[in-house]
Amino acid sequence: MEQQQEHNCENRLEQYLADDANRDRFRNLVQGKALGASSNIRSIIGFMTDLAMHAKGKGLESRELVSRTKEMTDYFDRLRGDSSIAVRNAILLLTQNISALGALPLDACADGILKNCGKFQAQIERDARALCESSLGILRERRRIFVYDYSSSVDAILTALYENGVDFHTVISESRLLDGGYPFLPSAQKRGEKPMFVMEACMGSAIRRCDAAIIGAETLYAEGSVINTAGSDLVGMCCVHHGVPLYVATTFLKLDGRGERMFPDKDSTCDMATVLASGWPEETRKRTDFTCHGFSLVEHQWITGYFTERGYVSAAGIQNQATRYMRELKGDPQ
């Protein structure tokens, strides 16, 4: 019953959207095809914008526009918020004081939503540029860079290095859980690069030959550890073993300030039968358990530093920066 209700909710929300491209993005997000918290947040902003821009044409009143917007954001908070604190934090910021807009005339209500989205999108873009800039001084002399599991922030860093004349070669590991290695390839090819693409089982020997490794993060904890796609912990351990610095590209929007490290409650396991055993006899596949965890914890002691919108932060300095950020969010100037 609950699964059917969620399916009905998905169909209803898709029909709320007027733009075909947004409907495609909605389906990709629901089906887990859109990778990276940043791309998910951009899509959610796009859905909110679509609802506001087409509210008058659909004959909505202000309260109904606010209701549909909250229904949309509440759904994605359930779908992605447990596994990505950045998505949850973004939704909270995007919908602050949205209920009050329901009392305004429709034009003013829609304009309020659009302004919130525009302001937040502009901040995301500023933060993304600052994050990339924070990496240039550290990575300028690195000639062989290992990346694991697609992150738009990591991809943007590689592009920024290229645009700033840094000569480097990218080593990409498959991330079989979400095919998270493949999305790095289009940007690499635009750079005119022929990157190395290795199996996860070979990541240790690949990392040993690199000057640096970079991963993104789904969640950042105040003491510096991060939650990311399963396999990221192996990257950390290999980096420590081979003496290769590991950097995390993340904004503080991904900071979980609850003070307790927690694995995501939902979407934390995946059935990998079709990936691992597509050619197996059906009976053998049915009698085998292919469940695996979708996320892993990368311990702070494995991480060298962090590329953030507030500049490069060393492992020793991350807790102070995280504490300061949480205080600012709460309006505490101290």
- What pLDDT is recorded for position 179? 85
Dist CA 271 CA 291 (whole Å): 5
Q: Say whether pLDDT at 77 is over 60.
A: yes
Check: CB of residue 220 under 8 Å from CB of residue 307. Answer: no
| pTM of the shown model | 0.81
Half-sphere exposure of 272 (CA within 13 A, CB side): 15
User: Pick from 133, 128, 144: which is nearest to 251 by CA?
Assistant: 128
Fold of 2-127: Four Helix Bundle (Hemerythrin (Met), subunit A) (1.20.120)
Nearest to 296 by CA among 218, 241, 194: 218
**pLDDT of 326:** 84
Q: pLDDT for 132-186, tens place per residue? A: 999 999 999 999 999 999 998 999 999 999 999 999 999 999 998 888 899 999 9
Across 185-210, average pLDDT:
96
Domain extent listing, the chain: 2-127, 140-329
Task: Select the CATH number that applies to the domain covering 140-329 from these four: 3.40.718.10, 3.30.420.10, 3.30.420.40, 3.40.50.10470.
Answer: 3.40.50.10470
Please count the other Cβ atoms lying within 10 Å of the Cβ belonging to residue 17. Answer: 20
Q: Structure tokens of 201?
A: 């089982």
Dihedral over Cα of 280, 285, 287, 289: its sign: positive
Q: How much of the chain exceeds pLDDT 90, in percent?
A: 74
235 or 332, which is more confident?
A: 235
Cα separation values, 8 from 11, 60, 75, 270, Å: 5, 21, 12, 23
